[in-house]
Amino acid sequence: MEAMTWGFVGTLVGAVASIATTVITSWNSLRISQNSKAQDREERARAFQRETLLELQVEIRNYLRACYQAYSLDTKNFKNTGQWGSMLPEPLNDQLTELNAKTSILIQRVSNNELRGKLVELKKYATKCHLAKNEYDAGAFYVSYNELYEPLNEQLGEVLRNLY
């Protein structure tokens, strides 16, 4: 073959190699970008769960404290009057209403199904305690939510630690 033919073949091979290199580089850049976006999405989801669980820990504790205050007032009233279920002071009633709504919202944001189910159960017992019609039911619900709280709080902490 002539030198001119070899020159043309060499140019053609060089152009194909250059195009292939550009395609491979572009493909790798696209994959890296997609992986980066996926990792960013995952980290945002983890951060959202962390913030939700941290806020939920505080609000559940506040809700249980308010439920105990209602239970304690009902117990005192029962000892004095023999009747269960007095009207709660307006500030405590408002606090229970607000915390009930806030914890419900936060519980629904929890992505861990097992944890969310246990939180719903805890909240159900706490709510039934301060809405109970007699001292026996209230006492049973009080014991139930107290027994659930510590192990549930430990599980919540474990889930939180796994998000870091």
Q: Residue 82: which H helix or E strand, with range? A: none
Determine the residue type at 113: N
pTM of the predicted model, to two decimals? 0.78
Q: What's the domain range around 82?
A: 45-162
- The yes-or-no verdict on residue 158 having pLDDT over 80 is yes
- 3 occurs within a structural domain: no
What CATH number should be reported for the domain holding residue 155?
Answer: 1.20.120
Residue 97: CB atoms within 10 Å: 11
The pLDDT tens digits of the residues spanning 74-91 come to 999 999 998 988 889 999
CA–CA separation, 76 and 90 (whole Å): 17
Which residue would you say has higher pLDDT here, 30 or 136?
136
CA pair distance 134, 132, nearest whole angstrom: 6
